[in-house]
A and B are shown apart, each in its own frame.
Chain A
Amino acid sequence: MAVAEKQQTVIGASVPRLDVREKVTGAAVYADDIQFGPGLLHCRVKRSPIPHGIIKRIDTSKAEKLPGVKVVVTGADFPDRIGLYLKDRHIFARDRVRFIGEPVAAVAAVTEEIAEKALELIEVEYEELPGVFDPVYGASPEAPLLHPELGTYEYPNFIFPKPGTNIANHFKIRKGDTEAAWPQCAAIVEHTFRIPHVQHVPIEPHVAVAKAEENGQVTLWASTQSPFAQRALIAKALHIPESKLRVIAPFVGGGFGCKAGVTMEAIPVAVALKLPGYPIKLRLTREEEFYTNFVRQGLVIKIKVGCDKDGNLLALENTMYWDGGAYTEYGVNVTRAGGYSSTGPYDIPNVKTDSMCVYTNHPVGGAYRGFGMAELHTGIDQAMDMLAEKIGMDRVEFFKKNCIRGGDVLATGMVIHDVGIEDCIDAVARDLNWGVKEKPSGPNKVRGKGIALAWKAPAMPPNAGSSAIVKLNADGTVDVSVGGQEIGQGTFTVMAQIAAETLGVPYENVRVTGPIDTRYSPYEWQTVASRLTWSMGNAVRNAALDARQKVLNVVAEAWQQDPKELDIKNGYVISYRTEDTMPLKDVVVYGIPKPNDQGWIGGPIVGTGSFMPTYVTGLDPETGQGDRAVVHYTTGAQGVDLEVDLETGQITILKAVSAFDVGKAINPELVKQQMEGGMVQGLSSALFEECKLEKGVMRNPSFVDYRIATAIDVPPIMDTFIIEHAQDDGPFGARGIGEHPLVPSIAAVASALHDALGIRITNPPFSAEKVYLALVEAGLAK
């Protein structure tokens, strides 16, 4: 181990992505590209047109008679519930529908056109019920009950549903005494923020193809972040023995959380079970992608926060109403993450948090890059900005005074590890020329700067595990098998770097085998939570160490030396004692002949490794207190310099800056790419994005009406800084960075907007229209 640590060559090197040549030549295979031949059937889904109602009658007989239709299924065929945490949903609605777009029936036909036509022939009669379209109302006793059976659902022990209400999870923190603290505060800010639903918008829509065989084997090909979780959940809900469901997962054309858990993938599997022998393909239209898929749930966040006359934070009350939607695949755990992280990266002695996941008749809340943290920070960081202003302190000074430091006790009772957030604040402030007022580019324009902080822990069950296989080939190359998915973040590249470094082979000799296939790939919980570099990286490192030791043992026996005297460097086994060398290819498959034709030593070398955190503890349901709520936090800061056109309300972001403490950047360029891409996604949500929901109807389900940032909208200057305070249990000290860069963006823009205009506009998106109307109201524009 000590020897392996010494030879750091490819860790911290920005080697090119493993998958890039395939991707620039069009050779990379995505789920929609797999060819299934003439037997392929096309699946379309009949969906609920109403937000809430009882299904009185479904008649599929006309659809079944349409030539070209092979099978029609409804909820009557599939009685069991499905769900990642709280099992509260059916694959097809059975007695009740709870959101517009909820699957009610599905058709498989020889063409998509015939399948579409068949949907029109399915008759569904509903009795419409009053709906819930606001989480605060939904949590009140007046609201109609959306899940009367809540008390009967299965759920894990860290979720706290309240049967008889619409509250699917209620997470609490009670630390210190907020009531006693308020009188000691020199300044208090109280504000309610509303953050709208947004969509993930991967450029690749969801695609899933399923085929059942006569022998009971079922295969699912899907664009997915979660092949193993999908196998487990779908198998259970459809009574398929888990090992008989095989999920094959090629490259994913963007995930951002929407291809995690089970979204639509159970539908073609359910259909396939009724029609063995045929591959059944469901590909969502862009419109379905917008209005039927998991969303980033909306949030109403009420914050009361106070500090003493020197700006030291004393108390926080944070009440969050998450708009969980009709079902809670992820919503209950977003609520929990929002709860245990509800202070943001600030050291606050007295905390009272109530984080509630509320059922509504909106689309299902899913995992979205940041997992609640962007929404939380949109509230908490704006409140901090207001409090700094109220107490008369510079925001950067205020943030630095109050940000967490290694050894602090968090609101849950966990002691935080070494964090580099102060370095991140300094890097951003310096790069932004903090404190210097910039000149606007013309009359009727104003400039402003803003800064916001971020923290996020991997939000996952305490025992989410990883595993890896490192296999050496006869030509000296290495195949690394993992179950975590390449969704664009570059994880295959990083895993190859970790394997190469640990084994002592050139990076170019390492391949990460895809597609992920639950039959052949080792287990991985899910590609979510920015956990792969850390968790799967540890598994790969352990597998590579295992392979390395096996090689050294074989060579040591052949050379009659102590394995401790040997090392592997650049693909060669070397002896520090005798300076003997042997290329790996001469050892790793065929073994080494003993002298004088007296037999052989060794054999094919395969290393295995796994990793699972074992130290995360439960939290008290009433106080949220426990020894260790999470594995670790990644922290950072972001700032923007922007200009507002007073005549139009349009915001132009001139420069955006990010700094994050990633522990150790295995591949610095990939880290910077995550920071830039995440920042743009965050800025896009700050300026443009919102699912316009009216009584459960999404009014903007297209790229024309739901705008995301284009090449013209992004800041021409994006600076990124890598801060490295090592993670004690990360591979080479690394921790995750995938989600974090979009967490502070909305609050950073809001802060800059206030700096520019002197007025506060607190609820995103900060569209030109919204800004202009606020300017008119404030008398700044006419």
Chain B
Amino acid sequence: MGYHRITLTVNGVMELVDVPSNMTLLQMLREKLGLTGTKNGCASGECGACTVMLNGEPVNSCMVLAVECDGADVVTVEGLAKNGQLDPLQEAIIETGGVQCGFCTPGILISSRALLNRKPKPTEFEIREAISGNLCRCTGYNRIVEAVKKVAGTE
């Protein structure tokens, strides 16, 4: 199997990684870079636990090959807080109680952050739609939606 050397930016840091052709972005983040905040829930693009921002767009990192990310800009849950200061979305989801087991939380935060970056004042339906690919079995979702609204100032 061929290996490829790629360079990319992850959470603002330039990374140089040797990856096999069949390695996914999810595997690269978890196994090569030790960024285990991004979770593996199904490995088939159905649950959203592995959502990261790839060049600003939310993607299921289990469905993207690492080699495709040469030159890309990737943001994971570990990149949301800056200098120990939580992203307002992280603060909000703590306040509204939108976290229980926490396994879907990284993907939910990334999908919501991407939405807010794209559209700072989304409607409630747009919020629900944006996270509809992120399955959560614990919270019942409404407190997550409240958190996004809080950041958008639309609650």
Contacts and interface: CB of A to CB of B under 8 A. Distances in A.
A619 to B, nearest CB: 34
A202 B129 contact: no
B102 A251 contact: yes
Contacts of B41: 203-205, 286
A205 B104 CA distance: 12
Interface string A223-252: 000000000000000000000000000011
Contact of A711 (B36, B93, B105, B141): B141
A16 B90 CA distance: 13
A436 interface: no
Interface in B99-155: 99-106, 109, 124, 127-129, 131-145
B36 A19 contact: no
A669 B140 CA distance: 14
A146 to B, nearest CB: 32
Given A19-B102, A30-B39, A203-B41, A24 B142 contact: no
Contacts of A710: 132-133, 135, 141
A27 B137 CA distance: 20
B105 to A, nearest CB: 5
B47 A27 contact: no
Contacts of A676: 139-140, 142-143
Contacts of B36: 26, 29, 32-33
B46 A704 contact: yes
A101 B80 CA distance: 41
B63 interface: no
Interface string B29-43: 010001111111111
Interface in A713-758: 714, 716, 718
A54 interface: no
A311 interface: no
Nearest to B76: A26
A707 B129 CA distance: 16
Contacts, number: 160
B14 interface: no
Interface string A696-709: 00000011100011
A35 B34 contact: yes
Greatest chain A CB density within 10 A among B46, B94, B129, B140 is at: B140
Interface stretch (A383-391, A487-495, A579-587): A487-495
B86 interface: yes
Contacts of B35: 26
B132 A711 contact: yes
A677 B46 contact: no
A110 interface: no
Contacts of A25: 37, 77-78, 80-81, 86, 90
Contacts of A680: 139-141
Q: Per DSSP, are chain B's interface residues mostly helix, strand or loop, or mixed? A: loop
Greatest chain A CB density within 10 A among B86, B100, B104, B145 is at: B100
B73 to A, nearest CB: 18
B21 interface: no
A677 B139 contact: yes
B71 interface: no
A581 B33 CA distance: 51
A534 to B, nearest CB: 20
Contact of B143 (A489, A673, A703, A712): A673
Given A24-B93, A26-B35, A205-B41, A711 B128 contact: yes
Interface in B33-71: 34-44, 46-47, 49
A681 interface: yes
B99 A24 contact: yes
Interface in A189-228: 200-205
A440 interface: no
Contact of B103 (A17, A27, A253, A679): A253
A376 B128 CA distance: 33
A20 B144 CA distance: 14
Contact of A488 (B47, B102, B106): B102
B37 A203 contact: no
Contacts of A695: none
Nearest to A24: B90
Contacts of B76: 26
A716 B127 CA distance: 12
Contacts of A488: 100-102, 138
Contacts of B38: 26
B141 A23 contact: no
Interface string A5-27: 00000000000110111111111
A441 to B, nearest CB: 15
Contacts of A28: 102
A21 B103 contact: no
Nearest to A669: B97
Given A23-B102, A676-B143, A708 B137 contact: yes
A26 B138 CA distance: 17
Nearest to B90: A24
A487 B101 contact: yes
A254 interface: yes
A30 B76 CA distance: 17
B101 A204 contact: yes
8 contacts: A20-B102, A25-B81, A286-B41, A286-B46, A490-B100, A673-B139, A679-B140, A710-B132
Given A256-B137, A677-B137, 12 more contacts: A25-B86, A26-B78, A30-B39, A204-B101, A253-B39, A253-B102, A673-B143, A703-B46, A710-B135, A710-B141, A711-B145, A716-B142
